[in-house]
Structure 1
Amino acid sequence: MFRRTLFLALLVFAIANSGYSQGSSAPVQDQDTVTRLQIYLDEHSFGPGLINGHWSDFVQKALRRFQTAQGQQATGQIDPALHQQLQKISPLYTTYKLTDSDLHWVGRVPTKPARMAHLKKILYRSALDFISERFHADPGFIQKLNPGMKPEKLKSGSMVRVPNIPPFQIESIQPVPDLPPKPQFAQRIINVDVKDRDLDLVDANRVTASFPITPGSKSLPAPIGSWKIAKVTTMPIFRWDESMLMHGRRSGNYYTIRPGPRNPVGVVWIGLNKKGIGIHGTDNPVTIGRSASHGCIRLTNWDAAWLVNQVTVGMTVDIH
């Protein structure tokens, strides 16, 4: 009886400390550990989704893809070697001071394209929106890191606690209608997995980067097949055409939406040789991997801004 009781006690202890929760394959990790992992994966170009300190399918998929790329077993778990690497992320959080220049990127953004077309630049909707995207974070996580913070009261000089990750600098992205070719990238391939909602960058048969995406919708799915990159643009102007968005047919009834971080296609357009279809950024990072798009492949703006420097016209894009 004693042995059986001891065995059960040890079993319960082992389960409690095994890193897994009952009824779930998700490891039990504290907020700081998950945040460290999210930062680590993000910095290695294996996008974990928005940094929020929570374990999710995004995090586990990114970790597995990273492990595979490193020639490791894709366990989706933090092993001792990785744990040691994560400890090097120090400090885990830092403080960011809002500036007047930052707030020049913040303004009112109407939801209707007819009104949006009157704006010279499509800005961030709030200072919290600006800070969240700058540090690749969920707005709710920024608020959690700053208890008592009132987003509507943020102003120049406000100090905000944020994840310690290299910031996405919107001000560094210049409008370029056609980026020059990069012949050294011509043999690279972009693989888009519609079902898994992932985009992989493949170089010499090796996945070197992977990001969560939103790939089309049921009514207008991403086009399955092998395509080529036809055009690469930063700070694109968007032609909002309801017929094109809903049915894939261009019409004469449209609105011209100027560039900016909350332009409907974000800060990057990688156009394919399929009319109206491209890989691009987003005006709402929270939706990436969760909602639908109009046939295109959507990324967060920071992932799109990284990707645009790794591709060239003529590269193959396989959508499957």
Structure 2
Amino acid sequence: MPAFAQQRYSSADTVLITPNGDILDYVPDAGMRVMRDNRGRTVYVDDWGNVVATAMPANRYFARGGDDYRPRRDRYRAVPGYPETSPDYFPPAPESDYGDELTTSSVPEMREALPGDIERQTLPDADFGGSQPLPDLNGNDDSAALPENGIDPNAEYVPGPKFEPATALGKLSSAEITALQVFLDREGFSPGVIDGKKGSNVIKAIEAWQNSTGETLDPNNADDILERLRLSGGMAFTTYEISAADAAGPYVASIPSDYAEKAALPHLSFTSTIEMLAEKFHMDEAYLKDINPGVDFTIPGTIIKVVDTGEKKTGKVAKILADKGRKQVLAYDENGTLIAAYPASIGSADTPSPSGLVTVERIALNPGYTYNPKINFQQGANNKVLTLQPGPNGPVGTVWIALSKPTYGIHGTPDPSKIGKTQSHGCIRLTNWDATELAKMTSAGVTVEFVD
């Protein structure tokens, strides 16, 4: 499409939109590949496999004014039926969970260097005993290598900390449980995915928060929870406008289970706008759909109801406890104060994680993944070394925190709803957003102790 063709628009015009939501200001190269994505849209792809632009009707990209108001497509306006989401009532929707310093695979610029000493690149084999850990073959996507001979050489029993039990949750509505989950998430004591449901991850988060603060939290006192939310940044729910960049992706149609097919993909990105938005707001995908009935998440300008996760937890972690009994990672500062806690999947009876002390060796954001059947067990019929590209749906998600014991690490996951509810193959598996938050507060040399 000639550049001048994007200067005037009618209802029949098409514009080329970059993944950042801007109009493409140059004529695409003649050698650029023109493809169709899983929703049938025309996309322009460069030689690296990155989406350069997506063809979109002009009247979807530009907002309408006057009497032509379409609440699902127009720019930000108050949402009828959700008076609590008025911008005058509490702060607007949060920005990207990860800030400007971190780029996830939902945008194509994966090869740019990150600032500071945090790297984003394919992890070299030397760091991991020849390969990064291999995910579970049984469909659990747990990512860790087996110990030698299936036996952990450091199998001594190390007891974990004891917390005062939390008050049992009574008959709470889904909205009340969501408010509790959002408060805990803002405090850095993660309940895992926010889904409006009771569960062990919520109870563990309350117990850790009480241990850190010395206070007692009554989860059944709705007024107290709402006041705590107000003081921590506002009510639990807010609104968010789906941008052109959100709708454009890039996305992949599906994530295959076979590693050779995974390795053929240009990135292991999200498969849909709703999957990306659920992770952005720390939410369960089904719950996000439930509170937005009938919404088409692919249309830019659509206003949706989401939770307000507030500011990211900050601090400096000096020690990490991987509590295998609680299925929880506990982060302490140099004074021994518990400053954050995250539900985790840590080892299993057949493939245990190590016991005792190890240290953080290095941190990689958006890591690539190397499959080596000579080091890891064989996946399917794949008998050659394979390199998988970065992305939130990769075997280790968007973060790899390498430990001093080869092949072991703390990492993200492509399936956040299973965290704390299933077992892993020895590594410590967190949600992508929790792993990222922990990585931001952690540095090389931090001790990690596996306890029971």
TM category (shorter chain) comes to 0.7 to 0.9
Task: List runs of 5+ in structure 2 lacking aligned partners.
Answer: 1-166
* Aligned structure 1 segments of 4 or more residues deviating by more than 6 angstroms: none
Aligned residue in 2 for 1:161 = 305
Aligned residue in 2 for 1:114 = 260
Q: 1:123 aligns with which of 243, 250, 269?
A: 269
- Counterpart-to-counterpart distance in 2, 1:260 and 1:282: 10
SS of aligned partner of 1:128: helix
1:93-145 alpha-carbon deviations (Å, 9 max, x no partner): 22222223223242223222111111221110211111110110011111110
SS of aligned partner of 2:440: coil
Contact 1:244/1:276 (8 A) holds in 2: no
| Map 1:54-69 → 2, pairs under 5 A | 54-69=197-212
Aligned residue in 2 for 1:292 = 423
Contact 2:179/2:226 (8 A) holds in 1: no
Contact 1:68/1:74 (8 A) holds in 2: no
- Counterpart-to-counterpart distance in 2, 1:238 and 1:78: 46
Aligned residue in 2 for 1:14 = none
Contact 2:180/2:219 (8 A) holds in 1: no
Contact 1:260/1:267 (8 A) holds in 2: yes
SS of aligned partner of 1:69: helix
Displacement, 1:73? Answer: 4.2
1:246-289 alpha-carbon deviations (Å, 9 max, x no partner): 49xxx983321111111110111100011110001111111111
| Map 1:225-236 → 2, pairs under 5 A | 225-236=356-367
- Counterpart-to-counterpart distance in 2, 1:122 and 1:235: 10
- Counterpart-to-counterpart distance in 2, 1:276 and 1:140: 34
TM-score normalised according to structure 2 size: 0.56
- Counterpart-to-counterpart distance in 1, 2:371 and 2:450: 24
Aligned residue in 2 for 1:36 = 179
Q: Percent identity?
A: 29
Between stretches 87-96 and 99-108, larger displacement belongs to 87-96
Alpha carbon RMSD of aligned pairs, Å? 2.6
Contact 1:64/1:76 (8 A) holds in 2: no
Task: List runs of 5+ in structure 1 lacking aligned partners.
Answer: 1-23, 169-183
Between stretches 287-296 and 206-215, larger displacement belongs to 287-296
| Counterpart residue identity of residue 279, structure 2 | E
SS of aligned partner of 2:441: coil
Aligned residue in 2 for 1:191 = 321
- Counterpart-to-counterpart distance in 2, 1:288 and 1:64: 18
**Relative to total residues, which structure has the larger helix share, 1 or 2?**
1
SS of aligned partner of 1:142: helix
Between stretches 234-243 and 259-268, larger displacement belongs to 234-243
Q: Which has the higher contact order (CA 8 A, sep 6+)?
A: 2
Between stretches 309-318 and 29-38, larger displacement belongs to 29-38
Aligned residue in 1 for 2:139 = none
SS of aligned partner of 1:317: strand
1:279-315 alpha-carbon deviations (Å, 9 max, x no partner): 0111111111112222110110111111111111111
TM-score normalised according to structure 1 size: 0.78
Q: 1:210 aligns with which of 341, 355, 368?
A: 341
- Counterpart-to-counterpart distance in 2, 1:240 and 1:217: 22
Between stretches 295-304 and 48-57, larger displacement belongs to 48-57
Aligned residue in 1 for 2:239 = 95
Contact 2:373/2:383 (8 A) holds in 1: no
Cα gap change, 1:79 to 1:189, in 2 (>3 Å): farther
Q: 2:405 aligns with which of 274, 278, 288?
A: 274
Q: Computing the radius of gyration over CA atoms, which structure comes out larger, 1 or 2?
A: 2
Aligned residue in 2 for 1:19 = none
- Counterpart-to-counterpart distance in 2, 1:197 and 1:262: 22
SS of aligned partner of 1:308: helix
| Map 1:114-153 → 2, pairs under 5 A | 114-149=260-295
1:15-49 alpha-carbon deviations (Å, 9 max, x no partner): xxxxxxxxx94322222221111111101110011
SS of aligned partner of 2:426: coil
Contact 2:319/2:447 (8 A) holds in 1: yes
| Counterpart residue identity of residue 308, structure 2 | N
